Chain A
Amino acid sequence: MNFELSEEQRIFRDQVRAFAECHLKGGALARAHSGSYPRDIARLMAANGLFGIALPEAVGGQGGALLDSVIALEEVSLACPRSGDVIQAGNFGAIRTFAEYATADQRQRYLKPLLAGEMLISVAMTEPDAGSAVTDLKSALKADGEGWRLSGSKVFVTNSEEADLFLVYCRYGPGVEGIGSVLLERGAEGFEIGRPSQYMNGESWCPLFFDGVYVPPENVLLGRGGFKKQISGFNVERLGNATRAQALGRYCFNQARDYALSRQQFGRPLCEFQGIQWKFAEMEIQLEAARLLLYRAATRAETGLPSAQDTSIAKAMCNLAGHFAANESMQVMGGMGYSADTLVEWCLRKTRGWLIAGGSLEMMKNRIAEGIFERRFSQRPPRAGARAGADG
C-alpha cells in the first residue's frame, strides 16, 4: 500500500498551491465576508484549468481523476476557504451529475459556459416536506405535448440567488421509481425565485417556486427511474463537501498553530502549555484520519463515481474532524479566533453547516449501518402488511 501521491499528483498540487497563494490568498477575508458568489474567481479558475478537472478532455474537462479534483479543492481551500466553494461548483456540484448524464445536445448548450465559469448551475433537491426523506419530494411534472409542465417548490438551494441553471429533482409519477430530473433556466416563465434568506455562514438561499413551468423535452436530464443515478452523482458532491470540511479544519489548525508559536501568555508561547499541545495532537489525529478516508474514497472511484459506503464514511469523518478542528482552533486563539479579523470563526460556522448539508451526519450513519449489516433499514413507521425496507 502506497500512501504517497504520484509524481503527477504532486506537481499538480504544487501548481494549484502556487496559483492559490498568488491569486486567492490575498482577498480571502473579504471574499468570505461578502456572501456573494465570486464569479471573477470562477472565470480565473476556469482559465487556469481548475474546472472540470475529472471530466474527460473530449467534453472540455481536464481528463484527471476524482482525486485530482480533491487535491485542487484542498489546496484552494487552504489558501482561501471561500474560493473552495468555487472549485466545488466547477467540479463536484450539480455540474458533475449534469456532465455524467447530459445528452450531447445539453452538453453542447450548457457545459462550455459552465466549464468557462460564465454560467453557474445549482441542484434543487430539498423541499419544505422532503429533507433527509428526499424521496418524499412533491415537485411534479405533467405531460404537455412533447414536453412537461413542472409545479412545486424547493428550499435550501445553494447559490440559488446567483445560479443561471437549476438541476431540479422532480417526479414523473409515484414512488422512488417516479423520480428524475429536469434542467430549468433562470427566468423561465412560471419559475419564481423567492426572497433570499441567510444561512449561519453568511451565504444566501432562496425558495424556488414552479407554477406550471414549461420544460421542453430537450431539457429532461433523467427520466423515470433516474433517482439512483442522481444519488450516485450526488456522492461526488458529498466528497466535495467532505473535502472542504476537512480542509477548512486544517486551515483553522494552521492559523492556530502559527498563533500558538508566537502568542505569549504567562511569559511563554502558547505551544509550551501541555493543554494546548494535546489540543493540537487531537486535531492532527482527527484531520489526518479524515484525509486518509477521503483520499481512499476518491482513489477507489478513480475517474468514475465514488461508492455510497466509502462516501458516507469519508463525509461523516471529515465533517466531524473539520468542525472539531475549527472549534478547537478557536479555543486556542481565544478572542482572536472569535473575532471576524480572522476566518476561524467563519470556518466554524461553515463547517457546522456541513454536519447538515449534503446528507446529514445521521443519514450518513444510517447508510454506513446498512453497509455493515448488508440490509436496508427503512426509516418509515411500520405499516400494517408492509415489509420493512420496501421504499426509500
Chain B
Amino acid sequence: MKILVPVKRVVDFNVKVRVKADHTGVETANVKMSMNPFDEIAVEEAVRLKEQGAASEIVAVSIGVAQCQETIRTALAMGADRGILIETRVETQPLAVAKLLKALVERESPGLVILGKQAIDDDCNQTGQMLAALLGWAQGTFISKAKIGDGKAEVVREVDGGLESLVLKMPAVLTADLRLNEPRYASLPNIMKAKKKPIETLTPEALGVDVTPRIATLKVEEPPKRKAGGKVAGVAELVDKLKNEAKVI
C-alpha cells in the first residue's frame, strides 16, 4: 500500500510572528520556516506503518514556492521514499490544496492519505475533510491512534468530551492530532540519504487544477495588547467586583 503525506512549509513555531507593515499578511521574509508540526506527526505515522509492514511506499507532497523542497527533503530524511513538489507562487487556500491532492491521488492511487489536522499558520483545519469529500473516501480526523487492517482502518479520534473509536473503510483520509505519536529527529545519515531520493516537480496547470484564491484577505492586524490586570485587597473586594463590575455572580 502506498501512503500520500502532504507537508506544508510554515513559519517555525518558535518564531514570534510579525504583521507586515502594509497589513496584507504576516512577515515571512528572512523568517525561519519549518514543516508544520502536525505534518511531522503525519509523516512519522506513515513511516511507522511502513516499518510495521503495513505500507510499501510513502510519497511526501508539498505545495508552494521552490523552497518547499526543503520541507519535502525533511520528510524524506524522516523516512518518506520520494517527493512531489507542486510549485506555485499563488497563495493556495484549503479548497485549492484539496483539489490538487485529489488530482495527485488519482495519479498515484494511494491506499491512505495522512495529513496534519491543521497547519499552524492559518489554522484552517479544512483540507483533510475537503479532500475526503472530493474523493468520496472515508475520513478519520483528529486521530490519536491508528491501526491499519485488511481493507479497514481502526482509529481513535480526539473529540470534545472524550475519545471516539471508528472503523473506516479503506482507502481513507486521516488527519493527525498531537498525541498520535512523537515524531523522530532525522539522523545525519538519513538526511544524507534523503539527498538521493527523487523529488518530482509539477504545477497546478499540469494537474488541471485552478488554484485562484476564492477568499480575499482584506486586512491583517495584530491582536490588541492585553492590558495589565488590577489587584484586589482581599476576598470581599473581589466578590464585590465580580458582582458589581463584572456582573458574573
Contact = CB atoms under 8 A, between A and B. Distances in A.
A14 B14 CA distance: 12
Interface in A1-37: 7-8, 10-12, 14-16, 18-19, 21
B195 interface: yes
Interface in B170-224: 185-189, 191-192, 194-195
B121 interface: no
A14 B74 contact: yes
Given A8-B192, A21-B14, A14 B34 contact: yes
A371 to B, nearest CB: 32
Interface stretch (A60-68, A150-158, A280-288, A298-306): A60-68
A12 B189 contact: no
Given A19-B185, A49-B185, A8 B14 contact: no
Contacts of A48: 185, 187
Contacts, number: 48
B193 to A, nearest CB: 10
Contacts of A63: 188-189, 192
- A16, A18, A63 — most chain B CB neighbours (10 Å): A18
B185 A62 contact: no
Q: Is the contact region of chain B dominated by helix, strand, or loop, or is it mixed?
A: helix
Contacts of A19: 185
Contact-size category for A: 10 to 19
A48 B188 CA distance: 10
Contacts of A12: 186, 188, 191
B73 interface: yes
Contacts of B97: none
B186 A15 contact: yes
Contact-size category for B: 10 to 19
A57 interface: yes
A62 B77 contact: no
A44 B150 CA distance: 37
Interface string B1-39: 000000000000010000000000000000000100000
A10 B188 contact: no
A15 B185 contact: yes
Interface in A52-75: 53, 57, 62-64, 68
B188 A62 contact: yes
B191 A11 contact: yes
Interchain residue pairs A-B with the least CB separation, the first 7: A49-B187, A62-B188, A15-B185, A64-B188, A19-B185, A15-B186, A8-B191
Given A15-B74, A16-B185, A63-B189, 18 more contacts: A7-B73, A7-B195, A8-B73, A8-B191, A8-B194, A8-B195, A11-B70, A19-B185, A21-B14, A49-B185, A49-B187, A49-B188, A57-B189, A62-B187, A62-B188, A62-B189, A63-B188, A68-B188
24 contacts: A7-B69, A7-B70, A7-B73, A8-B195, A11-B73, A11-B77, A11-B186, A11-B191, A12-B188, A14-B34, A14-B74, A15-B185, A15-B186, A16-B185, A19-B185, A21-B14, A48-B185, A49-B185, A49-B189, A53-B188, A62-B188, A63-B192, A64-B188, A64-B192
